Amino acid sequence: MHRIFQTYIDRLSESTDAVALRESMAEATQALDLSCFAYLRISEQKGGAPQLISTYPSTWTAQYLKNRYERFDPVITQVLEGTEPFQWGLNSGKHILSRPQRELFEDAARFGIACGFTVPIHDGRGPIAAVTFAADEHHGAAFARRVEAHRQVLQLMAMCFHAHVRRKISPGRVIDGVSLSPREFECLEWAAQGKSAWEIGRILGISRHTAATHLDNVKTKLRVRTIIQAVARLMLSRSSIK
């Protein structure tokens, strides 16, 4: 198990785009004898399309995105309501399913996605996301046993995947019409939590000088003199999101 996880982390670190990140997780899930996975990140903009990286059948994911199923998907509903990982299936879960929701589950099952284990991600630094590991109905019992055996590792894998997506392929953040790079925005978010350039460098695995340079770039782009002013602009922009 340790070797599988270490290989996964190494591959994530080497990945530079969505395809490489997808392959990193795909290799790890295959090594753990899990059928498929999906990473879905809810859009910050009202009505915006979610970000999806997965090994689900492409026909299903195209249908899911086209029809905006995330609006009533019971799995996503539960993700939005809490932070605890959970298992799900057509006949399990705490929610009473509506007819459209049952039809959604039934459609997914026809594509080999009948049950799953989902890890909600509420990190307070961007949109809510989730990583789901799934299987078809014929492997439901074996899948449940594997999830229980590797539950903590799967949660850690999900969090690591999300962190790399945010850092490597998320678009630059916009504050009052000014676009920041993902790293600049990340440094500003940590500064908003009271972290110094040295502390930010330790957290992100970069030097204090590099962190300070990112923060200087933020001040220049936002046309402010201090990081306190930049943080105030960040807080104001968040409060205006409907």
- φ and ψ at residue 5, rounded to 5 degrees: -65, -40
Q: Average pLDDT, stretch 147-162? A: 95
pLDDT band of residue 93 (cuts 50, 70, 90) is: low
Q: How far apart are CA 56 and CA 48, in angstroms?
A: 21
Judged by average pLDDT, the poorest of 44-58, 77-91, 111-125 is: 44-58
Q: Average pLDDT, stretch 48-74? A: 93
CA-based angle 124:25:34, to the nearest 5? 110
Please say whether the beta carbons of 148 and 141 come within 8 A.
no
pLDDT exceeds 90 at position 1: no
Q: Please give the share of the chain, as a percent, with pLDDT higher than 90.
A: 69
pLDDT of residue 241: 42
Judged by average pLDDT, the poorest of 47-56, 67-76, 103-112, 154-163 is: 47-56
pLDDT band of residue 41 (cuts 50, 70, 90) is: very high
pLDDT exceeds 60 at position 224: yes
pLDDT exceeds 90 at position 2: no
Calculate the average pLDDT of the chain: 90
Q: How far apart are CA 154 and CA 26, in angstroms?
A: 13
Q: Average pLDDT, stretch 33-53? A: 88
Cα distance between the two ends of the chain? 43
Q: Please give the share of the chain, as a percent, with pLDDT higher than 70.
A: 95
Higher pLDDT, 1 or 170: 1
Higher pLDDT, 36 or 47: 36
pLDDT exceeds 80 at position 44: no
pLDDT band of residue 85 (cuts 50, 70, 90) is: very high
pLDDT of residue 170: 67
**Could you tell me if residue 135 is left (phi over 0), alpha (psi between -120 and 50 degrees) or otherwise beta?**
beta
Closest CA to 147 of 93, 197, 85, 234: 85
Q: How far apart are CA 203 and CA 214, in angstroms?
A: 14
pLDDT of residue 242: 39
pLDDT of residue 87: 94
Q: Average pLDDT, stretch 178-207? A: 90
Judged by average pLDDT, the poorest of 64-78, 89-103, 140-154 is: 89-103
